[in-house]
Amino acid sequence: MTYWTIFLVTAEAAAETTAEGGLFDIDATLPLMALQFLILMAVLNALLYKPLGKAIDQRGDYVRRSLKEAREVKEKSEALAAQYENELREVRRQSQQIIADAKAEAEKISASKIQNAQQEVAAQRQKAADEIEAQKTEAMQTLEQQVDTLSDQILEKLLGAELVN
C-alpha cells in the first residue's frame, strides 16, 4: 500500500515537471552520472573489494589449512595414544608375568630352604638322639660297674671278706 502511494506521488510529480525539465530528464548529466558511478565502482573494486576479497580468501585458506593440520595432528595423536595404550597393556602384562614368576621362584626358594631346614633339624635331632643313646649306654655301663662294685661291697660286708674272694 505504501509503495503504491509513493509510486503515485512520484508519477504525479514527474507529470508536472515534464514540461519544465522534470525529475527524469535525460540530458548530459545521466551519462556523466553513469560514468562517475563506473569510475567509483572501478576505484572501490581496485582499492577496497579486491584487497578485501583477497584477505578473505587468504583467511579462508588459512582456516582450511589450520583445520586440515588440526585434523592430521588429532589423527596422529589418537594413533599415538592407541599405540601407547597397547604398549602400556603389554608392559602391564609383562610386569604381571614377571611378578608371578618372581613369586613362583620365591616359593620354590622358600620351599627348598624349609626342606633344608627340616632336614637339618631332623639331622640334629638324630644326632642328639644318638648322643643321648651313647650317653645312656655309657651311663648304663658306669652304673653297671658301680652296681657291681656296690654289690661286691655289700656281699663283702654281709658275708665277709673271705667268702667273696
Whether residue 155 is predicted with pLDDT greater than 70 in this model: the reply is yes
The predicted structure's pLDDT at residue 23 = 62
Q: Where are the domains of the chain?
A: 38-164
Whether residue 48 is predicted with pLDDT greater than 60 in this model: the reply is yes
Whether residue 124 is predicted with pLDDT greater than 70 in this model: the reply is yes
**Res. 129 pLDDT band, cuts 50 70 90:** very high
Cβ 46 vs Cβ 54: under 8 Å: no
Q: Can you tell me the mean pLDDT for 49-65? A: 93
- 146 vs 155: CA distance, rounded Å: 14
Whether residue 19 is predicted with pLDDT greater than 60 in this model: the reply is no
The predicted structure's pLDDT at residue 69 = 95
- 91 vs 77: CA distance, rounded Å: 20
Q: Average per-residue pLDDT in the chain?
A: 86
By mean pLDDT, which of 4-8, 42-46, 89-93, 154-158 is the weakest? 4-8
Encoded amino acid at 125, one letter: R
